[in-house]
Amino acid sequence: MMEQAAPDISAYLSQFEFATSASEKFDREAAVAVKAYAKAHYEFVVALHRSGASGSAVNRANSEGVDRLIRRLTRMAQTAHFAAGGEAGEDLAVVAAGGYARQEMSVHSDIDLLFLYSGKLTGLARSVAERVQYWLWDGGLKVGGAVRSAAETIKLAKRDETIATNILDARYLAGETRVYHALLTSIWDDLLRPPAAFVRAQQRSMEERHAKFGESVYLLQPNLKEGAGGLRDYHAAYWIARATVPRIGRAGDFLHRGLLSEREMAAFWDALEFLWRVRNELHIQEGRAADQMSFEQQERLAVALHYADGGPGELPV
């Protein structure tokens, strides 16, 4: 496995952190620096994958590199807001959501962010959210962002299952920790109560997903995320465990909380590592987020991941 260090965020963005004024020129130059960092980070993550690192190691490194970027950009955006004469306004926290929050970001996965504010929305949260997302978009990164209070987030999550599961693993990145902790309390005390309703919703979603993408784990052209036995089935099991078993914080806790035996946990983790590594290779080859595997893609993936031919006339798939 490679020992190359991840790119140093300060080498790209330190000159923007202490802005005394904010202008279009400042924003453009910051976006250029973000793009340069994003390119170096992508090359580092790809090299890590090519060195044989596990799927979880690559996903974690990808997430941690984005963490450093988001934290730096948040400080830059706050500084620029005040340099432009903006007022302090409401408390703000920047929170990772979805697979990014779980540190399971594949190479080209979206960056899901929640800009969480307390009290009444004023200029600060809007300014920081707009600047951070502008810099990320112009830097060539794919971002999904929302600006909400904890109360609004829970209200929407009760009506939209995607929002509910997206915030279930909310992870603090920057800003006021008090605002973040208020969201966590609301998730546990309000959104997930009673847990039976949440569990039934996950079961319905799984049935609908399997009906759409195939109920067999032996499909010839499977979808790594949505198909039976794919990553979304793991997510559903994890979310149900989170809602019903105290202190489940990550997949490894399935063993520690007595949900899986040691042998079952090893098999479960091996399957996840396989799916994540194949998915990362697929993302790299396609140059974008992708989950559906055609016959041609399977042949290329097998070669890239060093699966040997089965013999004369047999492909390594």
- For 157-185, write each residue's pLDDT tens digit: 999 999 999 999 999 999 999 999 999 99
- Which one of 135, 159, 191 terminates a domain? 191
Residue 3 placed within a domain: no
What single-letter amino acid sits at 316? P
- The percent of residues above 90 in pLDDT, for the chain, comes to 77
pLDDT for 20 beyond 80: no
Residues 6+ apart with CB under 8 A from 15: 33
User: Residue 242 is part of a domain; what is its CATH number?
Assistant: 1.20.120.330
Same domain membership, residue 199 and residue 161? no
Same domain membership, residue 177 and residue 108? yes
> According to the model, what pLDDT value does residue 114 have?
97
If we measure between CA atoms, which residue out of 253, 250, 285, 256 comes closest to residue 99? 250
Same domain membership, residue 227 and residue 146? no
Residue 314's DSSP bridge partners are: 311
> According to the model, what pLDDT value does residue 228 have?
92
Contact by Cβ (8 Å): 79, 19: yes
> According to the model, what pLDDT value does residue 77 have?
94
Q: Dump pLDDT digits (tens) for 251-290.
A: 889 999 999 999 999 999 999 999 999 999 999 999 999 9
Averaged pLDDT, 67-88: 91
Q: At 215, is the pLDDT very low, low, confident or very high (cuts 50, 70, 90)?
A: confident
> According to the model, what pLDDT value does residue 11 have?
96
If we measure between CA atoms, which residue out of 51, 120, 119, 99 comes closest to residue 239? 99
Same domain membership, residue 135 and residue 108? yes
pLDDT for 312 beyond 70: no
pLDDT for 317 beyond 70: no
Same domain membership, residue 272 and residue 148? no
- The set of long-range contacts for 8-14, using a CB threshold of 8 Å and a minimum separation of 24, is 9/37, 9/68, 9/69, 9/72, 12/36, 12/37, 12/40, 13/37, 13/72, 13/73, 13/76
> According to the model, what pLDDT value does residue 13 have?
94
Report residue 218 as tokens. 């032996």
pLDDT for 313 beyond 60: no
Report residue 131 as tokens. 């600047």
Residue 94's DSSP bridge partners are: 115, 174
> According to the model, what pLDDT value does residue 67 have?
98
- Which one of 191, 221, 247 terminates a domain? 191
If we measure between CA atoms, which residue out of 108, 18, 21 comes closest to residue 62? 108
Q: What range does the domain containing 227 cover?
A: 195-304
- The percent of residues above 70 in pLDDT, for the chain, comes to 95
Same domain membership, residue 111 and residue 85? yes
Same domain membership, residue 144 and residue 84? yes
Q: At 65, is the pLDDT very low, low, confident or very high (cuts 50, 70, 90)?
A: very high
- Per the structure, the count of domains in the chain is 2
> According to the model, what pLDDT value does residue 249 have?
84
Residue 109 to residues 66, 101, 283, Cα–Cα distance (Å): 11, 12, 9
Q: Note the pTM of the prediction, 2 decimals.
A: 0.92
Same domain membership, residue 199 and residue 180? no
Q: What is the mean pLDDT of the chain?
A: 92
Residues 6+ apart with CB under 8 A from 249: 242
- Determine the Cα–Cα distance for residues 214 and 210; give it in Å rounded to an integer: 5
If we measure between CA atoms, which residue out of 183, 127, 113 comes closest to residue 155? 183
Four-residue CA torsion sign, 73, 79, 84, 86: positive
Q: At 236, is the pLDDT very low, low, confident or very high (cuts 50, 70, 90)?
A: very high
pLDDT for 63 beyond 90: yes
Same domain membership, residue 201 and residue 116? no
At residue 298, φ and ψ (nearest 5 deg) are -60, -40
